[in-house]
Amino acid sequence: MANVSKADLTDAVAKAAAISKTTAAEAVNALFDTVVARVAKGNRVTVVGFGTFLARKRQARAGRSPSNGKEIKIPAKTCPAFNPGQAFKDAVDGSSSGAKKR
């Protein structure tokens, strides 16, 4: 299984949209920057058929240090999260319902 980099995504967008790699890179960066900025402000970003990006609050809790086993306090924080849409889930699962074949 291979990892896909931002450069790989940029190349795929450039090819699919028949645009230059520079223009595709600007579009990919603009998309990522917009999602990050909106989620950082507490908004949800929903792409119908793909999924929803959102911020989740995690409460403070107790944990254990892996190096010495002592109990430590883990502070509360807000983390980014992603909930895939049904079409995305179906495509990953291999189901034919909802997933568009290209």
Per-residue pLDDT for the chain (102 aa), expressed as one digit of tens each? 789 999 999 999 999 999 999 999 999 999 999 999 999 999 999 999 899 999 999 999 999 999 999 999 999 999 999 999 999 999 999 876 554 544
Taking only the tens place, the pLDDT of each residue in 43-64 is 999 999 899 999 999 999 999 9
Model's pTM, two decimal places? 0.78
For residues 14 and 12, give the distance between their C-alpha atoms in angstroms, rounded to a whole number. 5
Count the Cβ atoms, other than its own, within 10 Å of residue 10.
19
Cβ(51)–Cβ(82) below 8 Å: yes
Give me the count of residues in the chain: 102
Residue 59: predicted pLDDT:
96
